[in-house]
């Protein structure tokens, strides 16, 4: 079996392939079409995009040209910050669906929480967005719903709703393993996904990671992806380079030892984007 088809079960029973293909910073048009087609050819069955990446049209064309049956793919998109609230979220969802050329999404996420520094009623705004997502979920237009870049205190109100989130997608890589958020999610049955599992490339020249990767005869990129998997986190590596897209899928033929996992888990902060959910200015 193609190991990229291995799945993890979400808290609503829906299955999500354990490695996704990231498309943040992938330009729309030919590049997005090529990258997504290459990924599907390499065996990826889980594609992650977002309205704000401005590449949903190309991602959708990549899916269409691959010729793969829709039900074999898991496709995620996200509602952007300017579209929060009930009515706007419903409209944003329809736009994403139409840009992607799809009839349903597997996963739809709130891209960033409305923050207390910007809005006195931030929690109410998040709940209104969530009400729209819940409605779309119940109508079968989305198979699973979740959040992205939410810290535990952003999640609390949503966890008490009729349909609590199934996923939280956060920045996650060596040097930024967000222990508190991951522990909260695990405790509440919310699957964690890793955006920038390679630190947007910033992991790749780290000496300690290079030494560990060399021991396994693997690249640092493969080590980081495998490290996510062994921590129960779904990695979403991004690449527009066919050889790297294929390389990043070769992560099922080695096991990182417990000692090395602990060594990587304990690495001090480095290589983060600096986009802290309580501090970002958007």
Sites of contact with ligand A2P (CB under 6 A): 22, 196-201, 204, 219, 221, 237-241, 244, 247-248
Where does residue 217 fall: left (phi above 0), alpha (psi -120 to 50 degrees), or beta otherwise? Answer: left
Judged by beta carbon, residue 168 or residue 219, the one nearer ligand A2P is: 219
Report, in Å, the least distance between residue 212 CB and ligand A2P: 16
Q: Are 191 and 167 in contact (CB under 8 A)?
A: yes
Judged by beta carbon, residue 96 or residue 200, the one nearer ligand A2P is: 200
Q: CA triplet 121, 123, 129: central angle to 5 degrees?
A: 105
Report, in Å, the least distance between residue 259 CB and ligand A2P: 24
Report, in Å, the least distance between residue 282 CB and ligand A2P: 19
Judged by beta carbon, residue 140 or residue 274, the one nearer ligand A2P is: 274
Judged by beta carbon, residue 61 or residue 200, the one nearer ligand A2P is: 200
Task: Give CA–CA dist 77/111, Å, rounded.
Answer: 9
Judged by beta carbon, residue 91 or residue 204, the one nearer ligand A2P is: 204
- Selecting among 6, 14, 53, 184, the annotated active-site residue is 53
Report, in Å, the least distance between residue 229 CB and ligand A2P: 14
137 is catalytic: no
Report, in Å, the least distance between residue 239 CB and ligand A2P: 4
Which positions are catalytic?
Answer: 53
């Amino acid at each position: 079996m193609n190991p990229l088809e291995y799945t993890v079960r979400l808290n609503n029973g829906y299955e999500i392939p354990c490695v996704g293909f990231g498309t943040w910073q992938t330009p729309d048009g030919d590049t997005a079409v090529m990258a997504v087609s290459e990924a599907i050819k390499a065996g990826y069955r889980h594609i992650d995009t977002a309205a704000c990446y401005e590449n949903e049209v190309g991602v959708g064309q990549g899916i269409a040209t691959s010729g793969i049956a829709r039900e074999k793919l898991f496709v995620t998109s996200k509602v952007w910050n300017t579209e929060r609230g009930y009515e706007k979220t419903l409209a944003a969802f329809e736009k994403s669906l139409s840009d992607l050329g799809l009839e349903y999404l597997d996963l739809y996420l709130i891209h960033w929480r409305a923050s207390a520094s910007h809005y006195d009623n931030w929690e109410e705004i998040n709940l209104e967005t969530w009400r729209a997502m819940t409605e779309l979920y119940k109508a079968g237009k989305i198979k699973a719903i979740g959040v992205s870049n939410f810290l535990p205190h952003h999640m609390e109100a949503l966890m008490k709703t009729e349909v609590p989130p199934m996923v939280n997608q956060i920045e996650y890589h060596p040097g930024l393993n967000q222990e508190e958020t991951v522990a909260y999610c695990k405790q509440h049955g919310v699957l964690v996904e890793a955006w920038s599992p390679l630190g947007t490339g910033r992991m790749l020249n780290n000496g300690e990671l290079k030494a560990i990767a060399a021991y396994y005869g693997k690249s640092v990129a493969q080590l980081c992806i495998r490290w996510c998997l062994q921590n129960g986190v779904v990695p979403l590596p991004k690449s527009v380079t066919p050889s790297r897209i294929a390389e990043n899928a070769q992560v099922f033929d080695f096991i990182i030892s417990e000692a090395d996992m602990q060594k990587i888990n304990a690495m001090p902060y480095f290589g983060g984007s600096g986009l802290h959910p309580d501090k970002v200015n958007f």
